């Protein structure tokens, strides 16, 4: 099985995810520990503070999108496949920690961080880009309200 993260576009996205990891790891007691990128891991990272797991993270990078455009044109809703959220919630539940969504708006160098729960999202079947490399897929997606997300600028 070929993983999208191993393609040229996937490698660009991985570099941006690593920028998010460097930012998170800039806090003295915190670590963003990436899951293996050569296999289809259930989440992108485990969040650790003082040697204790405090959360798991699903990180997505979006291009050509400023914070203002995200808020105004997309109603401050982050579209992500429901399957990714569902699996992340199950993993977080099993570890007794929260699932965090890290939405990195690359062009704006802005990171939105939101604890994910079923209560802040709606689900719908829509046609979206299949993978970072293109294509179209009709699948159940989660639309996550990001109005209460932490906003961090200058992440690079």
Q: Is residue 27 part of a domain?
A: yes
Q: Is residue 135 part of a domain?
A: no
Total structural domains in the chain? 1
Confidence of residue 3 (pLDDT cuts 50, 70, 90): low
Task: Write out the residue range of the structural domain in which residue 110 sits.
Answer: 4-73+83-118+147-153
Single pTM value for the model: 0.89
Q: Is residue 136 part of a domain?
A: no
Q: Is residue 132 part of a domain?
A: no
Pairing of strands 30-34, 45-49: antiparallel
In a 10 Å sphere around its CB, with 0-12 CB exposed, 13-18 middle and 19+ buried, how is residue 145 labelled? middle
How far from 91 is each of 41, 58, 86, 127, CA to CA, in Å? 11, 11, 9, 26
Instruction: Output the domain CATH number for residue 28.
Output: 3.40.1350.10
Q: Is residue 127 part of a domain?
A: no
Q: Is residue 19 part of a domain?
A: yes
Q: Is residue 142 part of a domain?
A: no
Q: Give per-residue pLDDT as tens, 70-123.
A: 999 999 999 999 999 999 999 999 999 999 999 999 999 999 999 998 788 999
Q: Is residue 38 part of a domain?
A: yes
Q: Give per-residue pLDDT as tens, 17-68.
A: 999 999 988 888 999 999 988 888 899 999 999 999 999 999 999 999 999 9
Residue whose entry in the numeric block shows the structure tokens 């959220």: 85
Give the three-state DSSP class for 121. strand
């Amino acid at each position: 099985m070929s993983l999208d993260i191993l393609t040229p576009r996937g490698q660009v996205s991985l570099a941006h995810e690593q920028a998010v990891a460097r930012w998170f790891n800039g806090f003295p007691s915190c670590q963003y520990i990436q899951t293996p990128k050569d296999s289809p891991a259930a989440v992108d990272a485990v969040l650790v503070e003082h040697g204790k797991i405090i959360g798991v993270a699903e990180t997505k990078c979006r291009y050509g999108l400023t914070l203002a455009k995200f808020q105004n044109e997309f109603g401050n809703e982050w579209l992500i496949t429901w399957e990714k959220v569902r699996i992340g919630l199950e993993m977080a539940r099993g570890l007794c920690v929260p699932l965090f969504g890290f939405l990195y708006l690359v062009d704006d160098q802005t990171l939105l961080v939101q604890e994910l729960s079923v209560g802040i999202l709606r689900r719908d079947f829509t046609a979206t880009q299949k993978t970072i490399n293109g294509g179209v897929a009709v699948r159940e997606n989660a639309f996550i309200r990001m109005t209460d997300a932490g906003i961090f600028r200058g992440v690079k």
